[in-house]
Amino acid sequence: MFEAKLDRGIVLKKILDAINQLVNEASWECTSSGMSLQAMDTSHVSLVAVNLNGDGFSKFRCDRNMVLGMNLVNLSKILKCAGNDDKVTIKAADGDDKIKLIFEAPNEYEVSQYEIKLMNLDAEYLGIPETSYNVTVKMPAAKFQRICRDLNQIGDAVTISCTKSGVDFSATGDLGNGSVSLSQNSSFDKPEDNVTISMQEPLSQTFALKYLNQFTKATPLCSQVTLSLSPDVPLVVEYKIIEENEEDSKNEIGHIRYYLAPKIDD
């Protein structure tokens, strides 16, 4: 028996919005410690990994490990039927070929139930080694989204260059070129606007903007995004999954990490 309840169903909607264009089908691995998902995009250039901690749920029960393979586009459609303030429960019985989604409205007298068919998917899990990265940039998620969108007007790829003075995002295309430079800054009043750069050695790497723009669909989950880079390894773009409660308290319940293979010169 698996049962997981989130008090703010909108979090699950945001997670699905963040991944369902990159991957259409994937398996959730459910264990006593939480739910996780790992999947490559169809062209095998990027990888998305979602982790939800069991203790981030208001109720979490997983009697034995389960793999719930499903069509994420369909899951997204069903989650659209939940109100943003609904409590959402996911239930799966051992050996069943479907899961149940239960939406409880805040008024406490309206309950909706949906079932979604499970699928047997060929799992291709990649092992991601512990890596210490040369460069880590923590910046406002909305700023990163804006930079990726703007530079995609200029070209298909962005070169991220880190030096002592800051981080440069630049693109070149038929019409010309463009760049955005950020230097470290911190504000006590608005920590969500901070740019934090930690660098061991200068570095420059190029990535396809098509994928980065897909990753930024996770922007509504968290005010800050973390980029981790090292030479000759994929870029990691991480968003914390933050649940905002009624009292405006913020609770970190997991994360989404996107991994993107670099473009390399001949």
Tell me how far, at minimum, the Cβ of 48 lies from another protein, in Å: 10
Binding residue (CB under 8 A) for another protein from 122, 127, 175, 188: 127
Tell me how far, at minimum, the Cβ of 123 lies from another protein, in Å: 9
The overall longest dimension of the chain from CA atoms, in Å, is 63
By CB under 8 A, is residue 173 in contact with another protein?
A: no
Which region among 87-95, 118-126, 132-140, 146-154 touches another protein (by CB under 8 A)?
A: 118-126
By CB under 8 A, is residue 121 in contact with another protein?
A: no
Pick between residue 46 and residue 226 the one whose CB is nearest to another protein: 46
By CB under 8 A, is residue 206 in contact with another protein?
A: yes
What six digits make up the tokens of 85?
């303030």
CB 20 within 8 A of CB 73: yes
From the list 54, 68, 72, 69, the residue with the least C-alpha distance to 15 is 72
Tell me how far, at minimum, the Cβ of 98 lies from another protein, in Å: 27
Binding residue (CB under 8 A) for another protein from 4, 75, 157, 227: 157
By CB under 8 A, is residue 234 in contact with another protein?
A: yes
Pick between residue 108 and residue 174 the one whose CB is nearest to another protein: 174
Residue 207 CB burial class (10 angstroms; 0-12, 13-18, ≥19) = buried
Size of the site for another protein (CB under 8 A): 24
By CB under 8 A, is residue 45 in contact with another protein?
A: yes
Name beta bridge partners: 199: 135
CB 38 within 8 A of CB 49: yes
Residue 174 CB burial class (10 angstroms; 0-12, 13-18, ≥19) = exposed
By CB under 8 A, is residue 29 in contact with another protein?
A: no
Distance of alpha carbon 133 from alpha carbon 235, whole angstroms = 9
By CB under 8 A, is residue 189 in contact with another protein?
A: no
Distance of alpha carbon 230 from alpha carbon 262, whole angstroms = 10
Binding residue (CB under 8 A) for another protein from 17, 21, 40, 121: 40
Binding residue (CB under 8 A) for another protein from 110, 117, 125, 177: 125
CB 47 within 8 A of CB 253: no
From the list 56, 59, 62, 51, the residue with the least C-alpha distance to 89 is 59
Pick between residue 40 and residue 182 the one whose CB is nearest to another protein: 40
Residues contributing to the site for another protein (CB under 8 A): 40, 44-47, 124-129, 157, 206, 208, 233-234, 259-266
